Each structure stands twice: as C-alpha cells, then as structure tokens.
Amino acid sequence: MRHPEYQYLDLMQNVLEHGDERIDRTGVGTRSLFGAMARFDLSDGSVPILTTKRVYWKTAVKEMLWFLTGQTNIRSLLRDNVRIWSDWPLAHYRKETGDNISQEDFEARIVADDDFAARWGDLGPVYGKQWRRWMGSDGKEHDQIETLVDMLRNNPSSRRMLFHGWNVAELDRMALPPCHMVYQYHVTSDGKLNSLMFQRSADLLLGAVFFSSVQSSVGSTIH
C-alpha cells in the first residue's frame, strides 16, 4: 500500500492536472475531482499524519472528541483553545445585531457569559447532534455511536455497522452541513477492523489533511 504522504501528493497532482475548475457558492472557485479515494493501513499502530504541511494534531483530536460528546456549542471548544468553529456563530451574531465585534471579543464573551453562550454559541444540529442524538420522525432520539459500539462488540459480522451525519430534515438549521457524513465499519473473521468514511466535500489543503489523520486514528481504536 502506497505511503499516506505519497497518496496525498499524488491526489494533489491529479487535481492540479486534471481537476474540473468552476465557481462555487463561496465565489472563490474550486478545482476538483469526484470520487477520489485514499487507503491507510493502521495495523502497525501508526496514524497518517502528513509532513508536507503542518497538522494541528491536538486541535483535530479535541474537535473529534467534542463531536463524540454530542455537543453543538462552541463554548467548550473555546475553553480548550479551539477556535476553528467560531466563524459561523460570529457571522450570525454580527448579521443579527449589527455589532461588528472582533472575533477575540466574541469568543471571550462566549466563554465568560452563560446566557450569551447559549444564545450565540450554538451551531445548530451539526455533527455531534446527529451522531449522538439523531431525531427520528417519531420524536425519539437515536445514539448512533452507542449503537455502533454495541454492534462491534456483540454482532461484529453485521453489514449494518455505520452511522450517518446527513439528516435532511435538519440541514437548514446547521451552521454548516456535514462534509464527512457517512462512516461504515467492517470486522474480518480474524478480528481486524476496517473503516470507510465518505466525504461529500473536502478542502485538500486544509480539511482533508486535518480530518483524515484523526478519523483514521479514532476508527482504528474504536474496536
């Protein structure tokens, strides 16, 4: 299996040479390929952290753990010095109030003020909500992570070991619809765990580098 670093570099080259160029919703534009795949062998305990660019590993792990708790408010992230989700609630606050507060002051107020954090720090039903508290049409909440772990332990031959983040009924209330959105697991007859993650959209220079390493490590340890 080709080394993760070279898989990444090969993909970057492929996008640059053969990618489809177009303007997107951001107005910045993209050059992209559809359906690219990378495979990582984690059997030796390694994690595919790239060295081509700096990867903020601790930030990535803190974000993943935040997802797994089911939280959707940025307050606990800010208390852990993670600021990667501040843009969306800050933009919403500025638009709704007309207050051109700085990001630093906004984040400080989220941390210090309970009521302000509850009103302006929430991102809506993003990743953690869908993973741990997916709302069914009957009003019942479903903990997809708990169900997955139970199946891995008690029914590892199942082909239904997966969880999902793309809740169509709640997309319009999310600060950002999920990019990484479907996660499926497979256990071999000799007990080896395989994981497959589908990502509808990935920024190869930032998001893919950031998320693939931590998702791979979490996937390898859930067993």
Q: Could you tell me the pTM of the whole model?
A: 0.88
CA-based nearest residue to 164, from 197, 138, 123: 197
CA-based nearest residue to 210, from 96, 54, 19: 54
Residue 96 lies in a domain: no
Single out the catalytic residue among 152, 179, 182, 197. 179
pLDDT at 104: 97
Alpha-carbon gap, residue 164 to 3, rounded angstroms: 28
pLDDT at 149: 97
CA-based nearest residue to 147, from 222, 54, 83: 222
Secondary structure class of 194 (helix, strand, coil): strand
Alpha-carbon gap, residue 25 to 176, rounded angstroms: 13
- Per-position b or e across 129-139, b if 16+ CB within 10 A of its CB: bbbbebeeeee
Residue 203 lies in a domain: yes
Range of the domain at 33: 4-72+123-221
Q: Strands, DSSP E only, in 116-192?
A: 134-135, 141-142, 162-164, 180-187
Residue 80 lies in a domain: no
CA-based nearest residue to 89, from 172, 167, 176, 178: 176
pLDDT at 222: 35
CA-based nearest residue to 107, from 77, 128, 63: 77
Residue 104 lies in a domain: no
Residue 42 sits in a domain whose CATH number is: 3.30.572.10
Contact 106, 119 (CB under 8 A): no
CA-based nearest residue to 85, from 99, 68, 106: 106
- Based on the residue annotation, tell me whether 121 is a catalytic residue of this protein: no
pLDDT at 212: 57
Structure tokens at 196: 């497959």
Residue 89 lies in a domain: no
pLDDT tens string, the chain, 223 residues long: the values are 888 889 999 999 999 999 999 888 878 888 999 999 989 888 888 878 888 878 888 998 999 999 999 999 999 999 999 999 999 999 999 999 999 999 999 999 999 999 999 999 999 999 999 999 999 989 999 999 999 999 999 999 999 999 999 999 999 999 999 999 999 999 999 999 999 999 998 888 877 776 655 555 444 333 3
Domain count, the chain: 1
pLDDT at 213: 53
Residue 148 lies in a domain: yes
pLDDT at 151: 97
Query: Which residues, at least 6 apart from 1, have a Cβ–Cβ distance to it below 8 Å?
Result: 39, 40, 41
pLDDT at 218: 43
Residue 51 lies in a domain: yes
Residue 44 lies in a domain: yes
